[in-house]
Protein backbone atom coordinates (compact mmCIF):
# COMPACT_ATOMS: atom_id res chain seq x y z
CA UNK A 1 0.00 0.00 0.00
CA UNK A 2 1.53 3.32 -1.03
CA UNK A 3 1.66 6.43 1.09
CA UNK A 4 -0.34 9.58 0.40
CA UNK A 5 1.15 13.07 0.37
CA UNK A 6 -0.96 16.18 1.00
CA UNK A 7 0.06 19.78 0.47
CA UNK A 8 -0.23 21.74 3.71
CA UNK A 9 -2.65 24.17 2.03
CA UNK A 10 -4.95 21.24 1.22
CA UNK A 11 -5.22 20.03 4.82
CA UNK A 12 -8.52 21.17 6.29
CA UNK A 13 -9.46 18.22 8.46
CA UNK A 14 -7.33 15.97 10.65
CA UNK A 15 -8.92 12.90 12.18
CA UNK A 16 -7.40 11.08 15.09
CA UNK A 17 -8.41 7.45 14.59
CA UNK A 18 -8.41 4.90 17.37
CA UNK A 19 -9.59 1.40 18.11
CA UNK A 20 -12.87 2.12 19.88
CA UNK A 21 -13.42 5.88 19.83
CA UNK A 22 -12.65 6.67 23.45
CA UNK A 23 -9.97 6.65 26.13
CA UNK A 24 -6.35 7.68 25.80
CA UNK A 25 -6.70 8.71 22.18
CA UNK A 26 -9.05 11.48 23.29
CA UNK A 27 -6.11 12.94 25.21
CA UNK A 28 -4.08 12.92 21.99
CA UNK A 29 -6.97 14.58 20.13
CA UNK A 30 -7.22 17.37 22.70
CA UNK A 31 -3.44 17.88 22.73
CA UNK A 32 -3.39 18.08 18.93
CA UNK A 33 -6.28 20.58 18.94
CA UNK A 34 -4.30 22.79 21.33
CA UNK A 35 -1.17 22.60 19.15
CA UNK A 36 -3.18 23.45 16.02
CA UNK A 37 -4.87 26.38 17.78
CA UNK A 38 -1.58 27.67 19.20
CA UNK A 39 -0.09 27.57 15.70
CA UNK A 40 -3.11 29.60 14.49
CA UNK A 41 -3.97 27.04 11.83
CA UNK A 42 -7.52 26.86 10.52
CA UNK A 43 -7.76 23.09 10.57
CA UNK A 44 -10.52 21.02 12.15
CA UNK A 45 -9.38 18.16 14.39
CA UNK A 46 -11.84 15.39 15.18
CA UNK A 47 -11.79 11.94 16.75
CA UNK A 48 -13.13 8.74 15.22
CA UNK A 49 -12.94 4.97 15.50
CA UNK A 50 -10.95 3.45 12.63
CA UNK A 51 -14.04 1.87 11.06
CA UNK A 52 -15.78 5.27 10.89
CA UNK A 53 -13.12 7.63 9.46
CA UNK A 54 -14.95 10.31 7.46
CA UNK A 55 -14.24 10.66 3.75
CA UNK A 56 -13.37 14.34 4.33
CA UNK A 57 -10.26 13.43 6.34
CA UNK A 58 -7.15 14.89 4.73
CA UNK A 59 -4.76 13.55 7.38
CA UNK A 60 -5.38 10.67 9.77
CA UNK A 61 -3.29 10.47 12.91
CA UNK A 62 -3.29 7.06 14.55
CA UNK A 63 -1.27 4.77 16.78
CA UNK A 64 1.42 2.96 14.78
CA UNK A 65 -0.26 -0.37 15.49
CA UNK A 66 -3.38 0.76 13.59
CA UNK A 67 -1.70 2.43 10.61
CA UNK A 68 -2.18 -0.49 8.20
CA UNK A 69 -5.91 -0.68 8.96
CA UNK A 70 -6.27 3.09 8.64
CA UNK A 71 -4.65 3.00 5.18
CA UNK A 72 -7.23 0.42 4.11
CA UNK A 73 -10.18 2.40 5.47
CA UNK A 74 -8.94 5.85 4.36
CA UNK A 75 -6.73 5.35 1.28
CA UNK A 76 -7.26 9.01 0.31
CA UNK A 77 -5.66 10.42 3.48
CA UNK A 78 -2.06 10.95 4.57
CA UNK A 79 -1.57 8.64 7.57
CA UNK A 80 0.63 9.96 10.38
CA UNK A 81 1.39 7.24 12.94
CA UNK A 82 2.49 7.94 16.51
CA UNK A 83 3.93 5.65 19.18
CA UNK A 84 3.33 7.40 22.49
CA UNK A 85 0.05 8.94 23.56
CA UNK A 86 1.54 12.14 24.98
CA UNK A 87 4.10 14.47 23.44
CA UNK A 88 4.92 12.21 20.51
CA UNK A 89 7.41 13.82 18.09
CA UNK A 90 5.23 12.83 15.12
CA UNK A 91 2.51 15.24 16.28
CA UNK A 92 4.99 18.07 16.83
CA UNK A 93 6.42 17.48 13.34
CA UNK A 94 2.92 17.44 11.82
CA UNK A 95 2.06 20.84 13.29
CA UNK A 96 5.49 22.25 12.37
CA UNK A 97 5.14 21.02 8.78
CA UNK A 98 1.62 22.45 8.48
CA UNK A 99 2.76 25.79 9.91
CA UNK A 100 5.72 25.89 7.54
CA UNK A 101 3.65 25.02 4.48
CA UNK A 102 5.47 21.72 4.02
CA UNK A 103 3.85 18.68 2.44
CA UNK A 104 2.45 16.08 4.81
CA UNK A 105 3.90 12.76 3.75
CA UNK A 106 1.96 9.76 5.00
CA UNK A 107 3.66 6.66 6.33
Give the residue numbers annotated as catalytic, written as ranges.
Answer: 18
Residues 28, 86: contact at Cβ < 8 Å? yes
d(CA 38, CA 24): 22
Give me the DSSP letters along 34-87: HHHHHTT---EEEEEEGGG--TT-SEEEEEGGGHHHHHHH-TTSEEEEESSSSS
Residues 101, 44: contact at Cβ < 8 Å? no
- Read off φ and ψ for residue 92, nearest 5 degrees: -60, -45
Amino acid sequence: MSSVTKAAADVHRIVLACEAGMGSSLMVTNALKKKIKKAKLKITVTHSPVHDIPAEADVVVTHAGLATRVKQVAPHAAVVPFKTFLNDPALTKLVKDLSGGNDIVGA
